[in-house]
Amino acid sequence: MADGAIHDSEERRKAPKCMEETRVAVQEDITSWIEAGDQSRTIMWVTGPAGAGKTAILGTIADACKEKGTLAAGFFFSASANGRKRRCLVPTLAYQLMNHGSFPRLREHILSSLVQDPIMFKKDMKAQFNALILNGLCRATHEPGGGNEAVPRLIIIDGLDECDEESDDQSNPSAQAPTRTKEEEQEEILSLLLLATTNPSFPFRILIASRPEVCIRDFFDTDGKACTRKIFLDNKYDPDADIALFYDARFSIICRRFGINPEDWPGKIAKRRLVRNASGQFIYAATTMRYLDGSTSQPHQRLEQILGLAPAKQSPLDTLDALYRLLLKACPNPELSMKWLRATQMRNAAGEKSPVWLLRLVLEASPGEENYALGSLASLLSTEHSGESLGQPYPFYHKSFLDFIEDPTRCTEGFLNEEEVLTWMAQRFFQTLDRRKPSSCVPLSQTNTHLKPFKPLHEMSCTAMQTF
């Protein structure tokens, strides 16, 4: 189960939401479909380019439906250890459904199924879905008092394009089991959800959001076409007006913080340029304002830097990429920052990214280096870690930045390929050996999960230190 993928989890505490009076039209379209939409269109696909605000919209819809009692369950794919895994989807949905008041008998049926079949979660996703959810709903709703037909219900799946590939043998990540592609994972989820909507015991509408990636788009253009309503976040929903409102609200906060008269700064011309530069991408606006708000001195200079960037020539990504380059150049050591950033994305044998504590242990050549390398990038990722967050991968605010640093055609300055990153990580591994006592060595059983780039080096170092 991925508890962090539930819409109101602690992990999603800082997840984006729509500011009041923004994205009104698209929210109304979605709400209308949930409450009284075409009965044959039981799936809605909200799509659009990176940074268009899909997650914020679905998060806001989830909050509203939760308050009204119409949200049955949700899964927000994310960068957490389990938040990208297909295998966590069914257990997480089942947990939410069994605790929903509309089906008082469903909890009993799900728990009974797990007692009868203790290896349920070792089975394939379709078997889990049928046994826990479809069969459970069928039995629960056909018993007296088993269901409340007056309550509309919704399941939300956000960020499907971020569902990652994983090894078929999860019990032994080091085994050479075949790895399914992320496209295969996504297609399996979509096929399962489509099949569920044809089952008379399945009363839910399904709201899905993702980028328009080829395999997802092909599915909704073929198998899912007849039962899907599509919303594309384009100019029809007037994103510029909403982005302008967002800028107004955030600039008001900054002006109050610094004692600036909002009539004097930033000015209508600057705001219009910022709206134009965003090109409908809320991620550009959000990143810009986090950068300005993070200034410890007057924010005028940072705004001038942003406005001084060359305008987009070919696509909306050009202005976003220019902003990302500006933020990287502002680091005290951009080369070191890029090495740390790329290292956060290296995956282990189970296809997972390393947690914060491990990268600190292995990569910091001196205390505080992590903060030195990443502290200036607080507008792009969370840089404060303690408690449980140390056991999670570094949380980035938006996948578009990760796409940027991993694409040499976009990240034209300071790009590092995977071989260069792994070489640097291996060098750091040996440089930091003297700080890693035998007690700080991760048990070899855990190297299968965490230390793919370091495993041979880790075994050698632990053996060597134990001889002294």
Cα 143 from Cα 354, distance rounded (Å): 47
Helix, strand, coil percent content, the chain, rounded in steps of 5: 55, 5, 40
Computed over every residue of the chain, the mean pLDDT equals 86
**430-467: per-residue pLDDT in tens?**
888 776 655 455 544 454 444 555 554 444 445 444 43
Residue entry with tokens 């880790």: 458
111 with 196, same domain: the answer is yes
Tokens matching residue 343? 């290292």
Residue 149 has pLDDT above 60, yes or no: no
Average pLDDT estimate for 293-322: 82
C-alpha triplet 204, 62, 53: angle, nearest 5°: 115
pLDDT at 146: 54
Q: How many domains does the chain have?
A: 3
Before 456, cis peptide (omega within 30)?
no
Nearest residue to 98 (alpha-carbon basis) of 132, 144, 50: 132
**159-209: per-residue pLDDT in tens?**
999 988 765 555 454 445 557 888 999 999 999 999 999 999 999 999 999
Residue entry with tokens 């292995």: 362
Cα 366 from Cα 368, distance rounded (Å): 6
- Final residue in a domain of this structure, among 274, 302, 329: 329
105 with 152, same domain: the answer is yes
Give me the phi and psi of 438, to 5 degrees please: -55, -35
pLDDT > 70 fraction of the chain, expressed in percent and rounded: 84
45 with 68, same domain: the answer is yes
Cα 450 from Cα 166, distance rounded (Å): 14
pLDDT range class, residue 74, cuts 50, 70, 90: very high
What residues contact residue 111 under an 8 Å CB cut-off, 6+ apart?
98
Cα 453 from Cα 95, distance rounded (Å): 35
pLDDT at 467: 39
Q: What is the 3-state secondary structure (H, E, C) of 353-377?
A: ECCHHHHHHHHCCCCCHHHHHHHHH
Residue 210 has pLDDT above 80, yes or no: yes
Average pLDDT estimate for 30-55: 91
Average pLDDT estimate for 198-221: 95
pLDDT at 444: 45
User: Of the spans 53-67, 94-108, 335-349, 435-449, which averages the highest pLDDT?
Assistant: 53-67
CA dihedral 238, 378, 301, 328 (to 10 degrees): -90
**269-287: per-residue pLDDT in tens?**
999 999 999 989 999 999 9
33 with 116, same domain: the answer is yes
pLDDT > 90 fraction of the chain, expressed in percent and rounded: 65
Nearest residue to 309 (alpha-carbon basis) of 334, 293, 330, 280: 330
Please report how many Cα atoms fall inside a 13 Å half-sphere around the Cα of residue 394, on the Cβ side. Answer: 26
- Final residue in a domain of this structure, among 329, 349, 382: 329
Domain enclosing residue 110, as ranges: 3-235
Task: Residue 150: give its domain's CATH number.
Answer: 3.40.50.300
**333-390: per-residue pLDDT in tens?**
999 999 999 999 998 766 788 899 999 999 999 999 999 999 999 999 988 888 888 8
221 with 123, same domain: the answer is yes
Give me the phi and psi of 353, to 5 degrees please: -85, 150
Residue entry with tokens 């947690």: 355
12 with 155, same domain: the answer is yes
Q: Please, are residues 226 and 219 in contact by the beta-carbon 8 Å criterion?
A: no
Q: What is the pTM of this model?
A: 0.83
pLDDT at 83: 66
pLDDT at 237: 92
pLDDT at 40: 87
79 with 36, same domain: the answer is yes
**243-270: per-residue pLDDT in tens?**
999 999 999 999 999 999 999 999 999 9
Q: Determine the 3-state secondary structure of 76 from DSSP.
A: strand
273 with 207, same domain: the answer is no
Residue entry with tokens 């295969």: 184
Q: What is the 3-state secondary structure (H, E, C) of 276-338?
A: HHHCCCHHHHHHHHHHHHCCCCCCHHHHHHHHCCCCCCCCHHHHHHHHHHHHHHCCCCHHHHH
Distance set, CA 123 to CA 109, 130, 449 (Å): 18, 11, 21
230 with 243, same domain: the answer is no
277 with 368, same domain: the answer is no
Nearest residue to 121 (alpha-carbon basis) of 159, 155, 82, 179: 82
pLDDT range class, residue 415, cuts 50, 70, 90: very high
- Final residue in a domain of this structure, among 329, 356, 373: 329
